[in-house]
Structures are given as C-alpha cells and as structure tokens.
C-alpha cells in the first residue's frame, strides 16, 4: 500500500 507524501514534507516554509 502506498501513501501519498505532501510537498510540505520536502520543501520548508520560506
């Protein structure tokens, strides 16, 4: 089973 990662887990807030 795959889980969908989020963009915010890779790129942090500016």
In the complex, the smallest distance separating the C-beta of residue 9 from other proteins, rounded to whole angstroms, is 7
Residues 6 and 12: their CA atoms lie apart, in Å, by 11
- The 1-14 contact track toward other proteins, x by CB under 8 A, reads xxxxxxxxxxxxxx
Q: Find how far residue 4's CA is from the centre of its chain.
A: 8
Q: Which long-range contacts (CB under 8 A, 24 or more apart) does 9-14 make?
A: none
Which residues lie near other proteins (CB under 8 A)?
1-14
């Amino acid at each position: 089973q795959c889980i969908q990662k989020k963009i915010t887990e890779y790129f942090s807030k500016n």
